[in-house]
Structure 1
Amino acid sequence: MDFSTLCIHGNIEKYDNTGAVSVPIFQSATFAHPGVGESTGFDYTRQQNPTREHLENVIKKLEGGVDAIAFATGMAAISAVMELFSPGDHIIASDDLYGGSHRLFHHISMKNGIGFDLVNTSELSLLEGLIRPNTKALFVETPTNPMMQVTDIAAVAEIAKKHQLLLIVDNTFLTPYYQQPLKLGADIVIHSGTKYLGGHNDTLAGFTVVNDEEIAERLRFIYKTTGACLSPFDSWLLIRGIKTLPIRMDKQQENAEKIANWLCEQEKITAVHYVGLPTHEGYEISKRQATGSGGMISFEVDSEETAKHILEGVSIIQYAESLGGVETLITYPMLQTHGDIPEEEREAKGINNRLLRLSVGIESAQDLIAELARVIKGE
């Protein structure tokens, strides 16, 4: 079945007999038992709910996994994955991470006894030198947030398998429509469903998708025990959003390509980070492992003053956190998504007071470029 068809018909199981085209929202905390020791398959919504199960079955099909779990947020999904590890374990992670992941690792996971080394995972030669006897996993974002570094997933998977490590890939930016890490050798895929999967900036969600039954069982146990489940109504919003995922992402990518090329020609723009540009250092790897470049652009301007003028001058484009929705959003990573990272560490990665991140929406590219032209010129 084609990906676009799976987005709409990825779960054929019916949960009622009304003929409803849209899956019902089973807004129930608990479910009655037919008899002693008997179950309908649903007992308590923290463990499972028909609306959420429908969503999970769709995500499982799209990523090609054996199980998918829907969480209340993307950070809840990552937090659950961290519960797979024990005090004394060591994880190697991308050094250009979403700020929330960095905050979780450094302020929660480390407190719980898990050690981390952060490295540019696009530099494969650096990885094996960091592996220790207690290393248990590699955690990769690709493309990274916000510097858009690209990691060769298949090559990292070979390293992981050689050393019997789990490979965890955050696939939020490209989604399974453009990139499928499990097929490239990853063991666990993570999503912030808030972003492209939901697609409308109206709900929070997170996902884990795995290719191993044992890992799935362990995550299900963590999930039902810690209770960070996605609600029935939010599950329904994600089901609805995913139905239009391919057409939204194709439009966002089309717009992003036009904007990235335009930015490259502007005098006040000193750097453009977009994986769809042939000049991007990860361009060839991205072409090999992904079918698209997505809608995320980071760019650096000539001064802090220019950056602030852009942020305060936009109107169609909105100055807001988050990404992946139909509305175009612009973000100041140093103050917003990465504000909790120490300044020296942040600056070393290029996340400075001149860097802006653009999540391109589905508006007219002409209108978006006209607005950028106006605010970049200082009008």
Structure 2
Amino acid sequence: MRIQTAAVQTLRHQEHGAVVPPVHLASTFELDPSSEDGAYAYQRGGNPTRAQLETLLAALDGAAHGFAFASGMAATAAALSTLAVGDEIILPASVYGGTYRFVDQVLPGRGVTGRFVDDLGELTEADFTPTTRAVFVETPANPTLRITDLRRLITLAHRHDALVIVDNTFMTSLLQRPLELGADVVVQSATKFLAGHSDLLAGAITTDDDRLAEAFALAQKAQGGVLSPGDSFRLIQGIKTMPLRLERQQDNALAIAEHLRGHDDIARVWFPGSHSEDEARIHASQATGTGAVLSFELAPGRDRVAFLHALRYPGFAVSLGGVETLICRPATMTHEAMTPEARERAGISDQLLRFAVGIEDVRDLIEDLDQALAASR
């Protein structure tokens, strides 16, 4: 079953012929007094609606196991909570600011070391130590859109018995399938493209590893960061239209990136594969599209604040993947947890703007960008 069909048909057959799954709001469930057993006991440990969603998440990735969390960071935290005292994890310097904060401020208290490197694509055997237990990767990277060769990284990490955790939020399983390339864990902020309407928080983990699946189930039950039944239902409904939405958003993003390249008011434009021919080749080999996020810098002398004020359609807000177009300044919004030195190392300048493209008519978006750029002069 192709993913466009799986998004709609995976949960089709419901009790009484209902075409959508029911919402089970119960916080607790009656057990058999004789055996004190039952499929569900308490919502934190399991819920029928969340279980339906988790079945769908696994189906989208072709995974054996899926898990739904209360936010993307809750999912990332659960994935990183598999690390133990004395372990090390390698991450890119440009990793999402929330992940950076967790690794920089939370993991040290648990005895786990995070090592940030400029380019995961340049990792060699010498970069792995006996304590290296995992590599965390975003490709495309947020917000620089740099590309990492997943096949090379996975092969290298596995030679050193290190897990590979891929944040696939920007691509989703529609455009990139890391588990099929050999990754151990995929995490996503389901708030973004999967939900698609900027109206709920959710996170997802998928894996084929039974041992890791047990750890993630324990994280749900022990830490409690699970997705509510109501939001689980709404995410199921959002996923059904994700392929259509993302395809339209990607078409819009490609047209906008092409329009901005060479524009007199734009200094640089970043999108997956734009940094080099090698990155373009790698991305084309492991993904089937470029997604719907791009970043750019205004040309010298342009007034960034005037530009942002003049925009009519894009909202000046964090997040991405919703039906509406959003623009943000990563240095002070999504990556504010990083020090100025860390942002410079990651290639996130104070002038960089991240543009998350929605489903509006692309002609309106381009016209709006043009008039805002004129206002910035």
Q: TM-score range by the shorter chain?
A: over 0.9
* 1:1-379 pair list within 5 angstroms: 1-11=1-11, 14=14, 17-124=15-122, 126-275=123-272, 277=274, 281-303=278-300, 306-378=303-375
Shift of the 295–37 alpha-carbon distance from structure 1 to 2, 3 Å rule, reads: same
> What do the CA deviations read for 1:4-51 (whole angstroms, capped 9, x no partner)?
11001223563xx33221111111111112433254411111011111
Distance 1:303 1:54 in 2: 51
Secondary structure (helix, strand or coil) at the match of 1:377 reads: helix
Distance 2:108 2:331 in 1: 23
Shift of the 82–45 alpha-carbon distance from structure 1 to 2, 3 Å rule, reads: same
The structural deviation recorded for 1:354 is: 1.3
For normalisation by structure 2, the TM-score amounts to 0.96
The structural deviation recorded for 1:98 is: 0.6
8 Å contact kept, 2:252–2:357 = yes
The structural deviation recorded for 1:347 is: 2.2
8 Å contact kept, 1:72–1:228 = yes
Distance 1:331 1:295 in 2: 14
The structural deviation recorded for 1:353 is: 2.0
Q: Give 2:169's aligned amino acid.
A: T
Shift of the 299–325 alpha-carbon distance from structure 1 to 2, 3 Å rule, reads: same
Distance 2:37 2:314 in 1: 50
Distance 1:311 1:293 in 2: 25
Distance 2:274 2:80 in 1: 34
The structural deviation recorded for 1:88 is: 1.0
Shift of the 115–306 alpha-carbon distance from structure 1 to 2, 3 Å rule, reads: same
For normalisation by structure 1, the TM-score amounts to 0.95
> What do the CA deviations read for 1:167-200 (whole angstroms, capped 9, x no partner)?
1000000000000100001000000000001011
Distance 2:85 2:150 in 1: 27
Distance 1:304 1:356 in 2: 16
Secondary structure (helix, strand or coil) at the match of 2:303 reads: helix
Q: Give 1:321's aligned amino acid.
A: V
Shift of the 40–368 alpha-carbon distance from structure 1 to 2, 3 Å rule, reads: same
Q: Give 2:109's aligned amino acid.
A: K
> What do the CA deviations read for 1:99-131 (whole angstroms, capped 9, x no partner)?
00001100001222111111134423x343321
The structural deviation recorded for 1:339 is: 1.1
Distance 1:304 1:113 in 2: 47
The structural deviation recorded for 1:282 is: 1.6
Distance 1:2 1:50 in 2: 25
Shift of the 90–277 alpha-carbon distance from structure 1 to 2, 3 Å rule, reads: closer
RMSD: 1.6
Secondary structure (helix, strand or coil) at the match of 1:160 reads: helix
8 Å contact kept, 1:307–1:353 = no
The structural deviation recorded for 1:305 is: 5.0
Distance 1:334 1:72 in 2: 25
Distance 1:122 1:252 in 2: 28
Q: Give 1:7's aligned amino acid.
A: A
Unaligned runs of 5+ in 2: none
Kindly report structure 1 stretches of 4+ aligned residues shifted beyond 3 Å. 11-14, 276-281
Distance 1:157 1:175 in 2: 19
Distance 1:321 1:12 in 2: 34
Distance 2:216 2:314 in 1: 38
- Count of paired positions: 376
8 Å contact kept, 2:327–2:353 = yes
Secondary structure (helix, strand or coil) at the match of 2:16 reads: coil
Distance 2:263 2:319 in 1: 26
The structural deviation recorded for 1:62 is: 0.8
Distance 1:20 1:240 in 2: 14
> What do the CA deviations read for 1:186-221 (whole angstroms, capped 9, x no partner)?
000000000001011000000111111111011111
Distance 1:303 1:331 in 2: 19
Distance 2:350 2:216 in 1: 39
